């Protein structure tokens, strides 16, 4: 099995020849205006967001200094402000804007963003999208 097959099986990310570490923000529940139907645009709806940022965390692990780390608290605050302060028609647009926020930190090499709308479909718990973006996409 070559490295490409191994990476596909494990879901690992490689950038610039190095394995990437992960920062995961799980189940961020926010409220925003989202949807294309008139009734969806009248009141805020719940959205469930999951973010995985891929970065090299060797420096932060060695130094124990926040200046060497991806500040996930700052990124989360920016995501909250953007999502709750905006109105979206599509979850795809929301996911793309969240990815852009994450990639503003130059240490973040890649990001995976999932956005779900709980209860949007009658017989489903939720519906959503997952996108991946890299530095080349900004």
The residues assigned a catalytic role are: 117
E-strand stretches of 8-123: 14-15, 18-19, 21-34, 45-55, 87-88, 108-118
d(CA 54, CA 111): 6
CB within 8 Å of 19: residues ≥ 6 apart: 12, 13
d(CA 3, CA 14): 10
């Amino acid at each position: 099995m070559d490295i490409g097959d191994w990476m596909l099986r494990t879901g690992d990310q490689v950038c610039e020849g190095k394995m990437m570490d992960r920062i995961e923000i799980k189940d961020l529940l926010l409220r925003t205006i989202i949807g294309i139907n008139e009734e969806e645009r009248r009141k805020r709806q719940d959205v469930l967001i999951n973010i995985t940022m891929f970065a090299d965390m060797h420096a932060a692990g060695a130094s124990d200094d926040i200046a060497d780390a991806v500040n996930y608290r700052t990124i989360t605050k920016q995501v909250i402000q953007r999502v709750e302060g905006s109105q979206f028609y599509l979850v795809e647009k929301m996911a793309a804007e969240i990815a852009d926020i994450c990639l503003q930190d130059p240490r973040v090499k890649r990001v995976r963003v999932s956005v779900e709308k709980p209860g949007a479909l009658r017989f489903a718990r939720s519906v959503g999208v997952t996108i991946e973006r890299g530095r080349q996409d900004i």
